[in-house]
Amino acid sequence: MPQATDSRSNQMMLGPDKKLGLIRDTSIQPFAPKEETMEIPLPPGVTKAVIEVRLTYQPRPGNIYPIHKVVRNVSLEETR
């Protein structure tokens, strides 16, 4: 999300009556795909796992708009 201070300190501010100037922007930009790689170590002996990926939008904490939910069943059974 675009993050702003009030331009009087380096404290991030919330609310249009306080924000004044962006200092960091982690939002999704046009023509700029966001790629992430996550390495998930599994406990020893585990051969199956269900990976659930959710993308949501939360304009306020707790106010959740679901966007994507992708489920992948992965198996390590072929490992020697």
Partner 1 sequence: MGDIAMMLLRPWNLALKWAVMFSIIFFLFFDGVTARCDSTEQVSTLNELIALFDSSSCKECHEKIYEQWEKSHHARPLMGLDDEIFMTKYLKNGVLAVKPGEKGTKRNFPCFKCHLPQFKYATDKVAAEIADAILRNDKASVRQLTISCLVCHNEKAVVHGCPEKNVIYGNRDLPEDTGHLVKKSPLMKNSLMCGQCHGLGPNLEFETPVQCATLYGSYLHAYIPSGGTQTCQDCHMKDGNHYMPPNFNNREEFSERLKQSLPMEVQTLSYTFEPKEGDSRPMVVLKTKITSKAGHRIPDG
Q: Which residues bind partner 1 (CB under 8 A)?
A: 1-2, 4, 15-22, 25, 27-47, 49, 51, 53, 55, 57, 59-60, 63, 65-68, 70, 72, 74-76, 79
Rounded to the nearest whole angstrom, what is the least distance from the CB of residue 47 to partner 1 in the complex?
7
The single-letter DSSP state of residue 31 is T
Cα dist from 10 to 4, 6, 13, 19, 23, whole Å: 9, 8, 9, 11, 9
Please identify, using beta-carbon distances, which residue of 11 and 31 lies nearer to partner 1: 31
Nearest-approach distance from CB 71 to partner 1, in angstroms: 9
The residue count for the chain: 80
The enclosing H or E element of 24 equals strand 22-25
Q: How far is the CB of 42 from partner 1 (least distance, A)?
A: 4
